[in-house]
Amino acid sequence: MRAVISDWQPRNRITTPLAGSPSYINSGIIKTVMKSGEKISVAQIDYQEFDEENFQYVIRPYWEIIDGLPTSVFQGIPGIDMDLRLERYYRVNYIPTFIAERTPSENREDLWDILESVGLDYYDRFEWLLRTTMRSANDNLIVERRRTSQVVEKFTSGILSTLQYGDRIIVDSMESIADTTAGFVDGIFTVITNGVDIIDQSGQILVDIMTRAAMVPIVVTQRIIARREHALHRRTGIEQAKKEGKYTGRKPIEVDEKVLRQVNQELKAGLITVEEAMKRTKIASKSTFYRKVRALNRRSTYEN
C-alpha cells in the first residue's frame, strides 16, 4: 500500500481544520456501487459543527480498499484530489463538491417538500443525504449513515449486512463463515470490501488492514468475472430460447388500475409520499411506478 500523507500543510482557510472540539458531529460512509449492485466502502465523511456557526466536513479515505479497486468500480470522490493521498481532507465553512452535487440547496422552490419526504422539519443537507438513497447522475457513489461506535462480536450470517468499517467479527475458524463455497465467497467479499477485521477465539488476527489491502483486488476481480459470466450465460440462454420460439420477454408487472388511480390522485394532492404509493401498488422500483403512472395519464387523456 502506497504511503498516506498525515502531515500535509493546508494551503488556505478552506483546507485548514478548525481547532477545538466540535459541538455536533454527524457521520456517514461513502460507498461505491458496482454495476451488479454490491456496495464497497471507500471513505468516511463527517460533518462537524463548532461554536460561532463554524463548520467543517472531513473526508477520510479508506486507502487500503481504494487502492485495490479498478477504475470501472471507483473513479474517485468529486472535489477531492486523490493524488495527494491525504489521511484526511478538510473543507472548512465550505460545502464540498461531493455534498453540493447530491443535496438540495436552500434556494430550491420545492425544498420543504424534499425535506418533509424524509421526515425533516429543518434544513440539514447532510442529514437529508443520510436519510435517502439519492445518487448523483455523475458517479456511482452513495452515502449511508455510520455508527458512532464500532462493534466486536461473534460472527453470525445475520450480521453481515450490518457491518461497517472498523468492526471486528470473532470466528471459530475461517470455515465458520459459511457452509458453501458461494456463501463463503459472498461473506468474504462483504467483510473485505467493508473494512471489517476477523479474529479467532484466541484473539489472533486473521484479517486486518494489511491483509485487506492484499485481498481487495482479488475479491473484487472475482466478483466482476462472476457477474460477467452470469450475464453471458443469461444472454446465451435468451438467444437459444428465441431460436426455439420460447422467449416471450420480460413479463410486465400487473397493477390494479383502480388502486393506481387512487394513489395517483392522493400523490398529486400531497396526501401521500411516493414510497407510500409504491407500497400500496406493490411496485418495488420508482422508475416502474412512474412509467405506470405516465401510461395511466395517457389513457385518461385519450378517454377524455
pLDDT in tens, 195-240: 999 999 888 999 999 999 999 999 999 999 988 888 888 888 878 8
The model's pTM is 0.78
Residue 302 confidence (pLDDT): 56
Closest C-alpha to 42, from 14, 96, 16, 78: 78
Percentage of the chain exceeding pLDDT 90? 50
CATH class of 152-243: alpha beta
Question: Start-end ranges of CATH 3.40.50 in the chain?
Answer: 152-243
pLDDT in tens, 231-250: 888 888 878 877 877 776 66
177 CB-side CA count, 13 A: 24
Residue 298 confidence (pLDDT): 75
Asked if residue 126 has pLDDT above 90, the reply is yes
Distance between CA 171 and CA 153 in Å, rounded?
A: 9
Asked if residue 163 has pLDDT above 70, the reply is yes
> Please, are residues 161 and 185 in contact by the beta-carbon 8 Å criterion?
no
pLDDT in tens, 45-77: 999 999 988 999 999 999 999 999 999 999 999
> Please, are residues 22 and 6 in contact by the beta-carbon 8 Å criterion?
no
Asked if residue 251 has pLDDT above 70, the reply is no
pLDDT band at 87 (very low <50, low <70, confident <90, very high): very high
